[in-house]
Amino acid sequence: MKIVTVAGARPQFIKAAAFSRAAAEIHEEILVHTGQHFDANMSDIFFEELKIPKPRYYLGISGGTHGKMTGAMLAGIEQALLAEKPDWCLVYGDTNSTLAGALAAVKLNIPVAHAEAGVRMGTLSNPEEVNRVVTDHVSRLLFTPTDLEKGNLQKEGIGNNVYAVGNLMYDSYLYADGLQTDLRPAVDFDNRPLVLPDRYYYLTCHRQENTCSDKPLLEIFTAMNELDAPTVYPVHPRNKERAARLCREHGFHRIRLIQPVGYMESLKLLKRCEKVVTDSGGLQCEAFFAGKQCVTVFDRVIWPQTMAAKRNQLARADARDILNKLAASQKIDNTYQPFGDGHTAERMIRIMEENMEG
């Protein structure tokens, strides 16, 4: 079986790592890296840490409008698919890379397998939602994390070739949990190593809604600066100048801005922290895996399964709301694990084998 995998963003590399390990030495996998995340700490580090095979195709496409980016990716992926003639095109999640890969493949009559299908927020005003919905409707195989997402697809009239297989993020989490590496420790903006305080909170914030102007980020920083311990914040490259300026202008000395971190370093920061504040779909799941209370600064639920017993709560970009949610009591039931058993990738491969054409 020959598979072309399309990925380009940080969360996709984490999922692709689990699949690549399971497929190695059994099937031929060719990786197309669109370049959507181009920073070394946002891309290269994942290939090093998680031992992802080097991409055969690197398109180097990042920045610009959604249409410009998706169109350029579509053309580049099409050329790779024409050259490779795979049995499957595998795409992950909900990025522009996902949509471009799915459209390029289906127009060439190459069957598409969509990992993390069926996730819904219920609004097409969110660009990722558009990517998910379109990709699901052109895919031959749909791999959902749980039965909840399978039900979402059934409501949209997609009932065939849908399989609830688990969450690839959990596969990668369990794999990484057994590794010890200091490949690229966290550093600040001046490349000085981060010295972790005994107690701290972990913040990630990258969504456009929270970083496109001063107001939402200022509210988030105000909340974090009032907590009883410092906050460690790996800053997305496009948000670096705004974050540094707000901390400087408002005297937010308890917020420690650092450069983006790799997957292993992020898990280390997660496991040692008090609680998590994020707008990342991936980190809220990882906080759930690690048994850490999480507050997600977003207006819609991405992973309803993580909301059990207030383990994850939505908050507005409002300092009081964030602080109130962080103060809420919660109970961690580590026996509740809805995202599978860490063998999602193996199930996906078996289903792809069974659904080969010819």
- Backbone φ, ψ for residue 29 (5° rounding): -120, 130
The C-alpha angle with vertex 16 and arms to 289 and 337, in degrees rounded to 5, equals 20
Q: Which of 115, 114, 117 is nearest to 152 (CA)?
A: 117
* DSSP category for residue 187: B
Could you tell me which residues are beta bridge partners of residue 70? none
Nearest by Cα to 127 from 71, 207, 62: 207
Percent helix, strand, coil in the chain (nearest 5)? Answer: 45, 15, 40
Q: How far apart are CA 272 and CA 133, in angstroms?
A: 36
DSSP, residue by residue, 132-179? HHHHHHH-SEEEESSHHHHHHHHHTT--SSEEE---HHHHHHHHHHT-
- Contact criterion met (CB below 8 Å) for 128 and 122: no
184 φ, ψ to 5°? -145, 85
137 is catalytic: no
| Backbone torsion region of residue 25, taken as left when φ is above 0, otherwise alpha when ψ lies between -120 and 50, otherwise beta | left
- Find where tokens 């990517």 sit: 131
> The tokens of 9 are what?
């963003």
Q: For residue 115, report the phi and psi dihedrals to the nearest 5 degrees.
A: -85, 135
From the list 37, 114, 206, 236, the catalytic residue is: 206
What residues have CB less than 8 Å from 169, skipping those under 6 apart? 11, 14, 15, 282, 285, 286, 289, 339
Which sequence positions are flagged as catalytic?
A: 206
